[in-house]
């Protein structure tokens, strides 16, 4: 199993191009099930998660072709016919978002058998809202032996879907299913994340009629069929925010390109409050810190445009050496402070009480062996290692490989002393 070693103390200076968004790419890939024509996705990240989903889609009848095209990395997905409506546990368990093939399968072929995704280290993350949405569209849902059996032999029907709580995954799933439903579907209390706007733009390029993504109400007028299309994946705001935090942590000056600064505005404000300089540019941001110690600031995670839960671990790492005490409240997931004990192994002073963590800044972190517990926690340990005295070794980095493309290369190009230690074989996920 691979590990990453970081020798702390080097400032970061240079340019980092931001990759396409993982959280958007995997939902766009699922949209390929909705048409018998090719879907071409450009600005595609090459990640463990996209590889997992590609493997599942291939089983369902989709050909998945990766290449380097004129617009960079691209993937062409083509499903002339659905050859199987069965998504087994051994594939779905590797990535929760694989469950989102259920809606497109039922919408196009009238039936599906998809494994429940199982547990998650950062919280329960139930799929009940997903199932309620598919049922509202007229599918008959049965649960048996860990599988969802969904049937709509006469097709899905437009409906009003009111989510009791905001859910990004359920909103995306409802959109994917409703585009081929007969009639109008209105989704209320929808999530407003930028990835939903990206999904709307891709679906509309395929011939769908979706309006309102990015607002709490999404309206979908069903169409009889969708066409192929070409679509560029939105820049990854979590990757962008992660490298912005890394630059603030290590000091120096880093230009993040191929990105959109408005996607991390809530983070930028907090970085400036802490004492870093953030300059918005046309295609990203420049993050600078002259070496002076940062100030502790408080934050609370919230749905977009609030502070992203997927950046909470990274910001906690930043606060470990800030001057003063910061309070970090996690409101999205109930078990997302598992990185705190690992940061404490590096000398951080952190106490966790329920959904709040208190971080008292220390003058110096010390390198140590640490273990990644989930995707975002893994990169928070890398960020802390950038300033820790000596060497920090992060194990179980298959979590990191799920969401960060060429991390060692991108950080190394800016002067970080970071290297991958190759292990034996692939991890069991």
The answer on 268 and 205 residing in a single domain is no
Q: Residue 427: what pLDDT? A: 45
Across all residues in the chain, what is the average pLDDT? 94
Pick the last residue of a domain from 179, 198, 232: 232
Q: 191 lies in a domain?
A: yes
For residue 201, pLDDT beyond 70: yes
| pLDDT (mean) for 97-101 | 92
Q: Is 120 a catalytic residue?
A: yes
259 and 193 fall within a common domain? no
Q: State the pLDDT confidence band at 424, using cuts at 50, 70 and 90.
A: low
Q: Does the pLDDT at position 128 exceed 60?
A: yes
129 assigned ligand-binding residue:
yes
93 appears as a binding residue in the annotation: no
Query: Rounded to whole angstroms, how far apart are CA atoms 134 and 243?
Result: 37
**Greater confidence, 428 or 21?**
21
Q: Give me the phi and psi of 242, to 5 degrees please.
A: -65, -45
Q: Does residue 123 surpass a pLDDT of 70?
A: no
Tell me which of 204, 232, 260 is where a domain ends. 232
Residue 306 has pLDDT above 50, yes or no: yes
Which has the higher per-residue pLDDT, 116 or 188? 188
Tell me which of 107-116, 216-225, 238-247, 420-429 is least confident.
420-429
Q: Is there a domain that residue 349 lies in?
A: yes
Whether residues 195 and 220 share a domain: the answer is yes
Position 340 scores a pLDDT of 95
The pTM of this model reads: 0.94
Predicted pLDDT of residue 246: 98
Mean pLDDT on 157-185: 97
Q: Does the residue 261 lie in any domain? A: yes
Judged against a pLDDT cut of 90, whether residue 310 lies above it is answered with yes
CB-CB contact of 146 with 117 (8 Å): no
Q: Is 318 annotated as a binding residue?
A: no
pLDDT in tens, 54-65: 999 999 999 999
> Does residue 429 belong to any structural domain of this protein?
no
* 91 against 296, higher pLDDT: 296
Regarding whether 149 and 38 lie in a shared domain, the answer is yes
Query: Which pLDDT belongs to residue 375?
Result: 75
Least confident of 39-48, 98-107, 115-124, 347-356: 115-124
127 is in an annotated binding site: yes
Q: What are phi and psi of 111, to 5 degrees?
A: -160, 155
Residues 131 and 183 in one domain: yes
310 is in an annotated binding site: yes
Q: Do 222 and 267 lie in a common domain? A: no
Cis geometry, peptide bond prior to residue 128 (ω within 30 degrees of 0): no
Answer yes or no: is 283 a known binding residue.
Answer: no
Token readout for 253 is 């000056």
Domain boundary among 232, 262, 296: 232
Higher pLDDT, 332 or 11: 11
On whether 2 is known to bind a ligand per the annotation, the reply is no
* Same domain as 187, residue 264: no
**Residue 425 binned pLDDT confidence (cut-offs 50, 70, 90):** low
Least confident of 146-150, 288-292, 311-315: 288-292
- pLDDT value at position 223? 98
Residue 94's pLDDT is 79
Average pLDDT over residues 91-99: 86
| pLDDT at position 120 over 60 | no
Answer yes or no: do 349 and 255 share one domain.
Answer: yes
Q: What is the structure's pLDDT at 178?
A: 98
Pairing of strands 184-188, 217-221: antiparallel
pLDDT at 51: 94
Is the pLDDT score of 119 beyond 70?
no
- Based on the fold, state whether residues 47 and 165 are members of the same structural domain: yes
For the chain, the domain total comes to 2
- Could you tell me if 361 and 305 lie in one domain? yes
pLDDT surpassing 60 at residue 218: yes
Residue 203 annotated as lining a ligand binding site: no
Give the 3-state DSSP-derived string for the chain, with helices as H, strands as E and coil as C: CCEEEEECCCCEEEEEECCECHHHHHHHHHHHHHCCCCEEEECCCCCHHHHHHHHHHHHHCCEEEEEEECCEEEEEEECCCCCCCEECHHHHCCCHHHHHHHHHHHHHHCEEEEECCCCCCCCCCCCHHHHHHHHHCCCEEEEECCEEEEECCCCCECCEEECCCCCHHHHHHHHHHHCCCECEEEEECCCCCHHHHHHHHHHHHCCCEEECCCCCEEEEECCCCCCCEEEECCECHHHHHHHHHHHHHHCEEEEEECCCHHHHHHHHHHHHHHCCEEEEECCEEEEEECCCCCECCCEEECCCCCECHHHHHHHHHHHCCCECEEEEECCCCCCCCCHHHHHHHCCCEEEEECCEEEEECCCCCECCEEECCCHHHHHHHHHHHCCCECEEEEECCHHHHCCCCCHHHHHHCCCCEEEEECCCCCCCC
162, part of any domain: yes
Angle at 65 between CA 62 and CA 66, to 5 degrees: 140
Binned at pLDDT 50, 70 and 90, residue 179 comes out as: very high
What average pLDDT does the segment 123-128 reach?
64
**What range does the domain containing 217 cover?**
22-232
Q: Please report which confidence band the pLDDT of residue 151 belongs to, taking 50, 70 and 90 as the band edges.
A: very high
Percent residues over pLDDT 90 in the chain: 87
- Is 227 annotated in some ligand binding site? no
Q: What is the mean pLDDT of residues 308-318?
A: 96
179 is in an annotated binding site: no
Is there a domain that residue 179 lies in? yes
pLDDT over 70, % of the chain = 96
Look at residue 121 in the predicted model and tell me its pLDDT: 40
CATH code for position 168: 3.65.10.10
Q: Is residue 119 part of a domain?
A: yes
Catalytic residue among 120, 192, 202, 414: 120
Per-residue pLDDT reduced to its tens digit, 230-276 = 999 999 999 999 999 999 999 999 999 999 999 999 999 999 999 99
Do 275 and 414 have their domain in common? yes
Residue 258: inside a domain, yes or no? yes
Q: Are residues 175 and 288 in the same domain?
A: no
- Residue 71 CB neighbour total at 10 angstroms: 12
Mean pLDDT in residue range 100-123: 83
């Amino acid at each position: 199993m691979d590990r990453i070693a970081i020798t702390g103390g080097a400032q970061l200076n240079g340019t980092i191009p931001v990759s396409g968004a993982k959280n958007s790419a995997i939902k766009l890939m699922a949209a390929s099930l909705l048409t018998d024509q090719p879907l071409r996705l450009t600005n595609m990240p090459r990640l463990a998660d996209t590889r997992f989903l590609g493997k599942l889609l291939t089983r369902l009848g989709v050909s998945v072709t990766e290449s380097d095209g004129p617009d960079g990395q691209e993937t062409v997905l083509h499903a002339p016919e659905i050859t199987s409506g069965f998504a087994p546990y051994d594939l779905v368990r590797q990535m929760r978002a694989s469950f989102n093939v259920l809606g497109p399968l039922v919408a196009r072929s009238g039936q599906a058998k998809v494994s429940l995704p199982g547990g998650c280290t950062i919280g329960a993350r139930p799929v009940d809202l997903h199932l309620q949405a598919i049922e509202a569209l007229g599918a008959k849902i049965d649960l048996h032996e860990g599988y969802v059996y969904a049937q709509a032999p006469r097709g899905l029907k437009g409906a009003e879907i009111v989510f009791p709580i905001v859910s990004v995954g359920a909103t995306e799933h409802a959109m994917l299913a409703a585009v081929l439903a007969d009639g109008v579907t209105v989704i209320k209390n929808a999530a407003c994340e930028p990835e939903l706007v990206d999904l709307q733009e891709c679906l509309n390029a395929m011939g769908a009629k979706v309006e309102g993504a990015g607002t709490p109400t999404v309206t979908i007028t069903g169409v009889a069929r969708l066409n192929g299309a070409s679509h560029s994946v939105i820049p990854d705001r979590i990757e962008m925010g992660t490298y912005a935090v890394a630059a603030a942590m290590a000091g120096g000056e880093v230009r993040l390109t191929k990105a959109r600064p408005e996607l991390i505005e809530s983070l930028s404000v907090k970085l400036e409050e802490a004492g870093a300089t953030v300059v918005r540019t046309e295609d990203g941001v420049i993050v600078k810190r002259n070496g002076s110690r940062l100030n502790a600031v408080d934050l609370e995670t919230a749905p977009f445009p609030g502070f992203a839960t997927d950046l909470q671990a990274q910001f906690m790492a930043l606060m470990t050496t800030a001057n003063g005490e910061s309070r970090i409240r996690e409101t999205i997931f109930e078990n997302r402070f598992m990185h705190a004990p690992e940061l404490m192994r590096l000398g951080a002073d952190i106490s966790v009480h329920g959904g709040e963590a208190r971080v008292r800044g220390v003058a110096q972190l010390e390198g140590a062996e640490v273990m990644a517990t989930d995707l975002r926690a893994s990169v928070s340990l890398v960020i802390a290692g950038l300033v820790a005295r000596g060497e920090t070794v992060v194990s179980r980095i298959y979590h990191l490989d799920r969401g960060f493309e060429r991390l060692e290369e991108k950080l190394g190009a800016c002067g970080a002393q970071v290297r991958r230690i190759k292990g034996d074989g692939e991890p069991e996920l």
